[in-house]
Amino acid sequence: MRNYETFEYDVLVVGAGGAGLRAAIGAIEAGCKVGVVSKSLLGKAHTVMAEGGAACALANVDPEDGWKVHFRDTMRGGKFLNNWRTVEIFAKEAPERILELERYGAVFDRTPQGLISQRAFGGHKYRRLAHVGDRTGLELIRTLQDKAVALGFESHMETTLTRLLTSGDRIVGAIGYRRSDGGLCLFKAKAVVLASGGWGRMYKFTSNSWESTGDGVMMAFEAGAELRDMEMVQFHPTGMIWPPGMRGILVTEGVRGEGGILKNGNGERFMFSHVPDFYRAETAETPEEALRWVDDKKNNRRPPELLPRDVVARAIYKEVKEGRGSEHGGVYLDVSHKGADYIKKKLPSMYDQFLHLGDVDITRQPMEVYPTIHYAMGGVTSEPETCATTLQGLFAAGEVACGLHGANRLGGNSLTDLLVFGKRAGDAAGAFAKSSSFYEPDTHQIEEEIETLFAPFGRKDGENPFTLHAELQETMQTGAMIARTEESLTTTLNEIKQVQERAKNISVSGDEKFNPSWHAARDVLFMLTSSEILVRSALERKESRGGHWRTDYPNEDPFWAKHNVCAKKEGENIKLYATPVPEPPAEYQEILKD
Ligand SMILES: Cc1cc2nc3c(=O)[nH]c(=O)nc-3n(C[C@H](O)[C@H](O)[C@H](O)COP(=O)(O)OP(=O)(O)OC[C@H]3O[C@@H](n4cnc5c(N)ncnc54)[C@H](O)[C@@H]3O)c2cc1C
């Protein structure tokens, strides 16, 4: 067997995004020795790309706001598939976590009175997103990183973990490789916090960073953890569509929050014709009424562009499908009426992004946009209070975890999720580690993973991992995108199966030093399994809800309104089953009725 270096930590954190860093702070403060492993460099996790802001009912701009309204908006946005207790904790603790971040040193945009400024976002009744221009994720990561580094932890950057290790039914560590030289690293831990982010890279056009291949969710699945709502992925309404090389890159919802409007190829402000009955009472009916909200948000109904993401994404899809698309097959998003100074102050990254990548000056011209895969609402089932998963010793927080967002995440709810549940996961893992000991990982599992990792070097003239990845992306983009049917999903499932067969014969050349095709060989195995689970869960849910739009079952179904689709490994098979969504207590039913 190959040699490996061994490291021991009370708490091992997988991921250095917002959730991982906040968890590390919690575990260090609990007195634990903490190791943080990340695929990329510290400071470069996907969170750094977050733009628009972090939602919390501070009520700095709209004094009517409060945690109950945030709770209601999040449950409604998630089409009630959320775990109500997770949402309750989230809405109550969000303001404190943002203020704590400020105490750690984050510098938010301010109101004229000097309070943290808050901007409007889709599905939020009040202006609620604390922000730093359109670079909020950067400030969040910078601040958490400074704090965690000051407290002290060991960082393993550019290290990819590929398997969680168990002893009996508990998680006792993980194994992986250093990307620079292929050196194997074995981490023994009393507790593990999974904070490895999402999995958009299985689709062709995505806003996600290269790291988002879903390794973490698949490592948990392979180790026996329960997954939930895997069919629920979010198609953000506004990704770049032109130039072709930039397709999928995000155009923040902050553009619409700052008054940006959507028009089709005929110049019509089409969102007025796509307002679902559910949201009609709170949505403006004319451009004049929408303008009153932009100018003076109080007591006015919101522009239809600020409906939740699932609604806006479907509307754009329909406009294009029915032949009213823009020049390059999307729609137009225009914020130029706000003036150059305002745009450069409030949306500096968007201004730079379009000017430098697309040769479009958004202070004078509209952007062209189309839905892009953006976020995974589903993931590892995690318990609201402690983020404990169904496996002893394994905690999950951030995008990899499931429970908060239901069928559709509201913009801005992720960054605060990272803080609220990153802290809870870190605190709980720290407490767990304090009353636990190290266990020896099963050597058979270590040998098996080393065999899987290095097998592609032993094969000659086999399949190219990049080709298989591209084929997976193509079929996911075609059959499991925003509009799904039994037929499209079944075709995609069959194609995934074929690629899985070919993946048994992946070969790579060269050696283990800085070898991207070797890295891709392992990543693609994870993505093939997660795609299969996603598609099979989507076939199971025969209704339309939030991010999951079945055009052959266009309505919501009373059974599925009350059930989550779960997945678990059983032998070598994927077992799917439905579990009841936890019912909110009577007092919360009242809030939701409002
Ligand atoms: C362009 C863009 C803009 C966004 N804007 C907003 C916004 O304004 N507001 C909002 O609320 N949300 C926003 N989001 C969503 C939000 O940024 C993400 O959901 C969130 O940052 C995820 O954080 P995380 O800590 O869970 O994971 P990530 O930040 O994705 O971090 C994952 C970490 O896990 C590591 N990792 C992954 N796999 C492995 C492995 N196998 N081994 C070791 N380490 C591993 C990675 O290297 C990384 O360090 C945006 C997303 C995008 C793409």
The full DSSP string for 498-523 is HHHHHHTTB---S-STT-HHHHHHHH
Q: Which amino acid is at 351?
A: Y
Cα distance between residue 308 and residue 316, in whole Å: 13
Task: Say yes or no: CB of residue 160 within 6 Å of ligand 1.
Answer: yes
Residues tagged active-site = 236, 256
- Domain 446-580 - what CATH class? mainly alpha
303-357 pLDDT, tens digit each: 999 998 999 999 999 999 999 999 999 999 999 999 999 999 989 999 999 999 8
373-418 pLDDT, tens digit each: 999 999 999 999 999 999 999 999 999 999 999 999 999 999 999 9
The residue among 406, 433, 400, 431 whose CA lies nearest residue 418 is: 400
pLDDT at 594 exceeding the cut of 70: no
Ligand 1 centroid to residue 323 C-alpha, Å? 35
Number of the ligand 1 atom closest to the C-alpha atom of 52: 8
Task: Say yes or no: CB of residue 206 within 6 Å of ligand 1.
Answer: no
Q: Give, as one character, the DSSP assignment of residue 551.
A: T
Substitution site in 14, 118, 211, 253 for ligand 1 pocket (most atoms within 8 Å of beta carbon): 211
Substitution site in 12, 47, 233 for ligand 1 pocket (most atoms within 8 Å of beta carbon): 47
**Of 374-378, 421-425, 474-478, 583-587, minimum mean pLDDT range:** 583-587
Task: Say yes or no: CB of residue 418 within 6 Å of ligand 1.
Answer: yes
259-313 pLDDT, tens digit each: 999 999 999 999 999 999 989 998 999 999 998 887 766 667 899 999 989 999 9
Ligand 1 centroid to residue 136 C-alpha, Å? 13
Ligand 1 centroid to residue 46 C-alpha, Å? 4
Residue 392 structure tokens: 């002893």
Residue 147 structure tokens: 């704090």
Cα distance between residue 161 and residue 174, in whole Å: 7
Ligand 1 centroid to residue 419 C-alpha, Å? 12
Task: Say yes or no: CB of residue 404 within 6 Å of ligand 1.
Answer: no
69-123 pLDDT, tens digit each: 999 999 999 999 999 999 999 999 999 999 999 999 999 999 999 999 999 888 8
Task: Say yes or no: CB of residue 330 within 6 Å of ligand 1.
Answer: no
Phi, psi values for residue 132, rounded to 5°: -125, 90
| Residue 144, Cβ density class (10 Å: 0-12 exposed, 13-18 middle, ≥19 buried) | buried
Contacts 24+ apart (CB under 8 A), 382-388: 382/421, 382/425, 384/83, 384/85, 384/86, 384/88, 384/89, 385/85, 385/89, 385/424, 385/428, 386/424, 386/425, 386/427, 386/428, 387/193, 387/421, 387/424, 387/425, 387/428, 388/428
Instruction: Return the pLDDT at 293.
Output: 80
Torsion angle, alpha carbons of 488, 493, 495, 498, to 10:
-170
Where along the chain do its domains lie?
236-371, 446-580
Report CA-CA distances (Å) from 296 to 61, 80, 347.
12, 31, 20
pLDDT class of 203 with cuts at 50, 70, 90: very high
CA-proximal residue: ligand 1, atom 30 (nearest): 197
| CATH code that applies to domain 236-371 | 3.90.700.10
Instruction: Return the pLDDT at 573.
Output: 96
139-170 pLDDT, tens digit each: 999 999 999 999 999 999 999 999 999 998 89
Task: Say yes or no: CB of residue 37 within 6 Å of ligand 1.
Answer: yes
Ligand 1 centroid to residue 424 C-alpha, Å? 18
Three-state DSSP at 40 gives coil
Angle between helices 516-540 and 215-223 (to 10 degrees): 70
Ligand 1 centroid to residue 586 C-alpha, Å? 35
Residues constituting the chain: 594
